[in-house]
Amino acid sequence: MTMINFTKMQGLGNDFIILDYEEYLHTQKTADELAVKLCDRHFSIGADGLIIVNPNTKNTDIGWIFYNSDGSVAQMCGNGIRCFAKYVYDKGLVNKKEFSVETKAGVIIPEILEDGRVRVNMSKPILTPEKIPVNTENNLNFEVKVSDRTFTANAVSMGNPHCIIITNEDTKALALKYGREIENNYLFPEKTNVEFVKILSRNEINLDVWERGCAITLACGTGACASVAAAILNGLCDGNVKVNLPGGSLYIEWNGSKTDTQHDIYMSGGAEYSFTGQIEI
What positions carry a catalytic annotation?
77, 220
How many Cα neighbours within 13 Å face the side chain of 78? Answer: 36
Q: Which amino acid is present at 16?
A: F
Question: Which of 194, 175, 180, 187 is CA-nearest to residue 145?
Answer: 187
Task: Specify whether the CB–CB gap between 88 and 96 falls below 8 A.
Answer: no
Q: Are strands 14-19 and 204-211 parallel, antiparallel or unpaired?
A: unpaired
Tell me if 171 sits within 8 A of 198, measured CB to CB: yes
